[in-house]
Amino acid sequence: MAPFHCLTFLTDYGLEDAFVAACHGVVLQIAPKTRIIDITHLVPPGDIRRGAAVLAQTVGYLPPAVHVAVVDPGVGTARRGVAIAAGDSVFVGPDNGLLSWAVAEAGGAIEAVSLTNRALWLDSATATFHGRDIFMPVAAHLAAGVPLAQAGGQLDVASLVTLPRPASRITGGRIDAEVLTVDRFGNAQLSVTGPEAARAGLAPGTTATLAWDSRELTVPFGSTFGDVAAGELVCFQDSAGYVAIAVNRGNAAQRLGLHPETLVTLTVTK
């Protein structure tokens, strides 16, 4: 395997503690020329689905790399640690579905191994910090050019854990979807893309009825937040290509009580 010049890192470790710094240090001791890109370390604790969505929506903008993602509530249990070749990159992390959407986005798994070669781990590997002790040292070795096969035993890619795809259905001018993510601004991203919504007739300049949790209201579909007055609701295609619900200069998730997995219906009205 040719060396990678870049390693990316996504976790739910937060920024209050030294967890991220320790992981950076491990990489730079093994592969000091590797550039590390921190995607985020503010995934809500244990929220595998949120981590999977962020990684999948970011990977297309990143260079060929070893992508390390750690949102791992099962750390220290029988869940596998894996490295997966997909597209022009390798994905390293727990086999709990966290990597699955990004692997699919990269073109699908070509090869996968279980991280069983302890020679690539830290000597003092612990049961509760596999990010530092297993995933990052293995990733650093891979970035330095160690062949994927040397990281551990071969796996059938069909055995990898995958997260279910979020629900979405289009029937005529009706879109049934769910909230996929909520960002720090309170924008609620839905599990339907802009092009999919357009097939239902939802496009800039149209209006839809938004229904959720026995509530209902009318929302315009625009191109950006400023298409409505401050404090007003708007739907639009976000920068990741998905339909989102927002409040111009406000927080749509808080106002409407939306959270990931909330089921919503958009019905085009005009």
- pTM (2 decimals)? 0.95
Find residue 189's DSSP bridge partners. Answer: 181, 244
Q: How confident is the model at residue 197 (pLDDT cuts 50, 70, 90)?
A: very high
- Mean model confidence pLDDT for the chain: 97
Any idea what DSSP says for residue 269?
-
Distance CA 226, CA 263 (A): 26
Instruction: Locate 184 and state its tokens.
Output: 């720090």
pLDDT at residue 270 greater than cutoff 90 = no
Q: What pLDDT, on a 0 to 100 scale, did the predictor assign at position 33?
A: 95
Q: What is the mean pLDDT of residues 79-104?
A: 98
Are 151 and 138 within 8 A, CB to CB?
yes
- What are the structural domains, with CATH classification, of the chain? 6-159 (3.40.50.10790), 168-268 (2.40.30.90)
pLDDT at residue 1 greater than cutoff 90 = no
Helix, strand or coil, per DSSP, at residue 159: helix
Q: What is the mean pLDDT of residues 239-246?
A: 97
| Size (the chain), residues | 270
Query: Residue written as tokens 């879109």?
Result: 175
Q: What is the mean pLDDT of residues 108-133?
A: 97
Are 197 and 175 within 8 A, CB to CB?
yes
Q: How confident is the model at residue 2 (pLDDT cuts 50, 70, 90)?
A: confident
Distance CA 92, CA 112 (A): 10
Q: pLDDT tens across 60-77, in order?
A: 999 999 999 999 999 999
Q: pLDDT tens across 9-29, in order?
A: 999 999 999 999 999 999 999
